């Protein structure tokens, strides 16, 4: 295994470990993050959308509220398997 691949694997394992231990970045409990999510939803102006794509979705903290205004939500993130906490049947994720 070359050096770049080894470093990539170590970084992936490090961040995967953070997600497995919970909300390390306080995305669900931070007042700032909650205000940011509320602002994003307000910008969408109460509309309903057939499909939503959220890139960099992490554990789905914004994905869950997006599912209430969309028929289908697809979220993607890099090497983070935190997607299992989403709404089954309403929001789907992929990890690279």
CATH of the domain at 31: 3.40.50.150
Question: What's the domain range around 73?
Answer: 3-95
CA nearest neighbour of 63 among 26, 90, 89: 90
Q: Print pLDDT tens along the chain (96 aa).
A: 899 999 988 887 887 787 778 788 888 899 999 999 999 999 998 899 999 998 888 778 898 889 889 998 888 776 555 555 555 555 556 555
Convert the chain into a string of H (helix), E (strand) and C (coil).
Answer: CCHHHHHHHHHHHHHHHHHHCCCCCCCCCCHHHHHHHHHHHHHCCCCCEEEEEEECCCCCCCHHHHHCCEEEEEEEECCCCHHHHCCCCCEEEEEC
Count the domains in the chain. Answer: 1
């Amino acid at each position: 295994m070359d050096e770049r691949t080894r470093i990539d694997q170590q970084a992936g394992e490090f961040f995967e470990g953070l997600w497995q231990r919970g909300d390390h970045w306080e995305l669900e409990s931070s007042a700032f993050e909650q205000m940011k999510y509320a602002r994003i939803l307000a910008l969408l102006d109460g509309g309903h959308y057939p499909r939503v794509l959220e890139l960099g979705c992490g554990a789905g903290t914004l994905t869950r509220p997006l599912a209430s205004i969309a028929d289908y939500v697809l979220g993607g993130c890099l090497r983070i398997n935190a997607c299992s906490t989403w709404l089954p049947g309403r929001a789907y994720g992929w990890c690279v």
